[in-house]
Copies of this chain bind each other. A is one copy, B any other.
Amino acid sequence: MALDSIDKEILRILQRDGRLSNRDLAAAVGLSAAPCLRRVQRLEEQGYISGYAALVDRDLVGRGLTVFVTVRLAQHTKHAIERFEAEVGKDPAVLECHWTAGETDYLLKVAVADLPGLDRFLLDRMTRIPGVATLQSGIAIRTVKHTTAVPVD
């Protein structure tokens, strides 16, 4: 169940290069291919590795504007919450949605093309969801750091 230092090193390496060949990974952690593969498969089966993803350049595919949108609902009925979360779940521009403690209810990370795209997202999508009371947008002028790699220690 627990991870030893080799498992942790595997997770660190695969977070940086998810397509590293098993042979190279094995060499990097000081194992031969067979046991390395078993460890990776175990990490996948037990859910430590939930998947693999190609990372796509947002600017190049025309989604270069990242915006953090905070949402407050008018009422916290079960129906309003479920409706909002369902809408957000199927909107591909919403990369993340977190139910947060504090003044606002949700924090969304949204990928749009530009300011007109943000306008359309807010007007055509968010404000049309019943129960959405207020919306505030924090525009990312520059992304200083962006990684998918969680520290494993």
Contacts and interface: CB of A to CB of B under 8 A. Distances in A.
Contacts of A63: 150-151
A19 to B, nearest CB: 4
Given A144-B98, A151-B111, A18 B19 contact: yes
Contact of A102 (B47, B93, B104, B138): B138
Contact of A143 (B61, B97, B146): B97
B144 A93 contact: no
A55 interface: yes
Contacts of A97: 143-146
Interface string A116-153: 00000000000000000000001111111111111111
B47 A60 contact: yes
Given A53-B15, A54-B15, A145 B88 contact: yes
A117 to B, nearest CB: 11
A147 to B, nearest CB: 6
A115 to B, nearest CB: 11
Interface string A46-68: 11111111111110111100101
